[in-house]
Structure 1
Amino acid sequence: MLDKILYNTVLCQTFSRCGKYLIAGNIYGQIAIFDLDRILNPVAELLTVDFNKPKHIHTLESEKQVCSLVTTEKFLIVGSVNEISGWDWKGFLNFKLNKPSWVIKMPSHSILEQIDVNSLWLSEDENRLYAGCGDNNVYVINLEDGKIVSTFTGHEDYIHSVHGKNQQLITAGEDGYVLLWDLRMGKSHNKLEPHDNSKVSRPDIGKWVGSATLSDDWIVCGGGPRLSLWHLRSLDAVTVFDIPDHGIHVSFFHDDCVVAGGAAKHLYQLSYSGEVKVELPVSATTVYSAILRTQPHNVLTIAGSSPEIDLCTTFNYRDQVLHFR
């Protein structure tokens, strides 16, 4: 296990609703729980050498990779291979892992089919869970009864990213498409193909889009094509960001900035006009997950192809390194 964990890759992270815990999932089916109160507010007399290591590491019974995570007030929701499971927080925080409270199996045409649940997004009212999967589909799940109520079809290859805002959903896939969906109609109403734009395209890296995120007026997306900012209504590329990456896997909006990372030495904070505001050095050779919250603490955590997770409290520099091992 020692040799294996040195090659750990952390694919996803989430915070507990109370903000006291960071949860991270890796390619070995392990889920680590970090106690942020202990890490951010250490008591000198109680400080131990392992304070920046997980409080617990749980391993899924299947040992299949943990692809995506989201949280509700009651559940930690885990997207793995062929299934989504919900774990009661009280039980999950214990040393011994119990059975999940519920499990949703992904539709499969064959016993050999492996469907990765690559991205999860929870609707603002928390009644619907949207799962972007490796079979090219987005599944809409009613969390009240755990049933799949709708399937969004339109991608031609597996889906990397799902995000939503204001009754719209945006998805990005290996096919190079960024699709916009009307959640009330359940249909795609607009499509971007960044690789068709000569200023954005990078044929040597590919046409895949690793991340796409919505704000009220903008879309930010990137992957093989360069990280770029698009106007939501006109679908025009307004800014093409000049950063030295070899593929984007993370992008989101925060405080009138774009935060982005991927196969690069830094996580970037950029103005809408393209100015680099902050370059945060990262431990991972490729960033697959970066999450941020401002309550009850300012915390930004960055994870990827490394057993180390970078933690920042000012968003301008790396304060600590957490160890998923």
Structure 2
Amino acid sequence: MTRSLELLHMTVFSQCFSPCGKFLVAGNNLGQMTLQGHEDYIHCLALREQQRECVSGSEDGSVRIWDLRTGAQTHKIEVYKYEECARPQYGKWISCLATDSDWMVCGGGPKLSLWHLRSMTPTTIFPLQESQQQVMFYQDMILCAGQAPCVNHCQINGEIRAQIPSTPRCVYSLSVNESSQENKVLTAAGNSPKIDVFTNFRYCAFSLTFT
């Protein structure tokens, strides 16, 4: 009976495919993962395939790094405890993260920040006032979006290169069609029936609409 009730009320908040395409990692509101340790539900996941690690961000305010070979937690970063990142008025939750080799970018309640994972220290704090819901590394940029009607193009040094208007007032999902070099596009979706399609990432070329 207990398990049936858990399944009835379960929500999957995050999922991530491995770069090889063979594995899918997912997190839910009950904190049920093979890798256990978070004290609240999981918002975001990323895989570091070369290091054989999984990185998770949670409502509990922590980013945790897991060794996929042993299932052990190897590091815990409580972002909200760093003065330069903290925003107590927004809370401590981590809503988005992405990794690229030895680097991680994450944000939510705390400011969006770039971290060096070997030293476990923040190196760049991005001057974005709104909480970010999605973030990704793309070429030499960091793309992010959240509680504002735009997609942000950020440089590694913290400069905001561009803020591209979007149809949704809050953007919850960003995706890049990496499988097609000829038709590569960025899509943005959120609290709107429209999914914006950016053909050159600099403006919304058109929108797909649910009918």
Bin of the TM-score, shorter chain as denominator length: over 0.9
Partner of 1:187: 72
Partner of 1:97: none
Higher alpha-carbon Rg: 1
1:323, distance to aligned residue in structure 2 (A):
0.8
Count of residue correspondences? 205
Code of the residue aligned with 2:4 in structure 1: it is: I
Question: Hey, what's the Cα distance between the residues in 1 that align with 2:186 and 2:151?
Answer: 11
1:109 aligns with 2:2: yes
Partner of 1:158: 41
1:125, distance to aligned residue in structure 2 (A):
3.6
Greater mean deviation of Cα atoms: 127-136 or 247-256: 127-136
Q: Secondary structure at the match of 2:26?
A: strand
- The sequence identity of aligned pairs, in percent, is 36
CA contact (8 A) 1:202 1:225 kept: yes
Q: Of 254, 263, 287, which residue of structure 1 is paired with 2:171?
A: 287
Normalised by the size of structure 2, how large is the TM-score?
0.92
1:258 aligns with 2:142: yes
Partner of 1:135: 30
Cα separation, partners in 2 of 1:109 and 1:187, compared to 1, 3 Å: farther
1:299 aligns with 2:190: no
1:44-193 alignment to 2 at 5 Å? Answer: 109-113=2-6, 114-138=9-33, 151-165=34-48, 166=50, 167-193=52-78
CA contact (8 A) 1:137 1:154 kept: no
Partner of 1:225: 110
Which structure ranks higher in relative contact order (CA pairs < 8 Å, sequence separation ≥ 6)? 1
CA contact (8 A) 1:195 1:207 kept: yes
Q: Please list the CA deviations of residues 23-69 of structure 1 after superposition, one character each: whole Å capped at 9, or x if unmatched.
A: xxxxxxxxxxxxxxxxxxxxxxxxxxxxxxxxxxxxxxxxxxxxxxx
Q: Of 191, 203, 207, which residue of structure 2 is paired with 1:317?
A: 203
Cα separation, partners in 2 of 1:186 and 1:269, compared to 1, 3 Å: same
RMSD, aligned α-carbons: 1.4
CA contact (8 A) 1:137 1:159 kept: no
1:204 aligns with 2:99: no
Question: Hey, what's the Cα distance between the residues in 2 that align with 1:297 and 1:125?
Answer: 21
Q: Please list the CA deviations of residues 208-261 of structure 1 after superposition, one character each: whole Å capped at 9, or x if unmatched.
A: 00011111021000001010000011011100000131x211011001211111
Q: Secondary structure at the match of 2:162?
A: strand
Question: Hey, what's the Cα distance between the residues in 2 that align with 1:109 and 1:233?
Answer: 41
CA contact (8 A) 1:259 1:268 kept: yes
Q: Secondary structure at the match of 1:195?
A: helix
Question: Hey, what's the Cα distance between the residues in 2 that align with 1:194 and 1:127?
Answer: 31
Runs of 4+ with deviation above 4 angstroms? none
Code of the residue aligned with 1:253 in structure 2: it is: F
Question: Hey, what's the Cα distance between the residues in 2 that align with 1:289 and 1:273?
Answer: 24
Question: Hey, what's the Cα distance between the residues in 2 that align with 1:274 and 1:121?
Answer: 26
